Amino acid sequence: MTTTSDRSTPRTGRLPRRSRRGLIVNLSAAQAITLLVAVLLVAVSIPMFGVGAAFWVALLAAGPLVAAALVRRDGFPVVEWAPIVWHFWRRRWTRQSGFRVTAAPRPAGKLALPGEEARLLALTAPTGRSWCTTRGPAGTPRSCGSGHPRSCCWTRKPRTRR
């Protein structure tokens, strides 16, 4: 059995869904490492500073780490947004996020044509007469009366009524 299907749109490639499997208790690697750092911070501060100081370490240092590991923003844990935010901040700090104009603007009358036609220059006089010239190999302009096949001249610019 053969079937034919007429597709008017091209077939697009599809990517699979992002894997949500985690290392431990369905936590990603970044979440697991952040929670491990928070637990180790509290565990080390108890024998070094005592229970009273360890409480403040847990409250002021480990608490935000646990929150960053478990709180979600736009479907992703906050700790997984850290590389994206760091990259954005670094690009802004080094002024690499804006568009910089590197080319000088094209002179008036210069046409954007490829190859040999790039030498074509269209000029318009204040009297309404317009002409185009080309440049020779040495960069010297060719005039309309030179008889060269690549130079041309028009007598009047067509006027438009408004």
Does residue 55 surpass a pLDDT of 70?
yes
What pLDDT digit, counting tens, does each position of 90-106 carry? 998 988 877 766 677 77
Q: Which amino acid is at 99?
A: F
What pLDDT digit, counting tens, does each position of 92-143 carry? 898 887 776 667 777 666 666 666 656 666 666 666 666 566 555 555 555 5
pTM across the whole model? 0.48
Tell me what pLDDT residue 9 has. Answer: 73
∠ at Cα 84 (83, 89), nearest 5°? 95
Contact 76, 68 (CB under 8 A): no
- Residue count of the chain: 162
What pLDDT digit, counting tens, does each position of 21-50 carry? 777 888 888 999 999 999 999 999 999 999
CA dist 118 and 40 (Å) reads 68
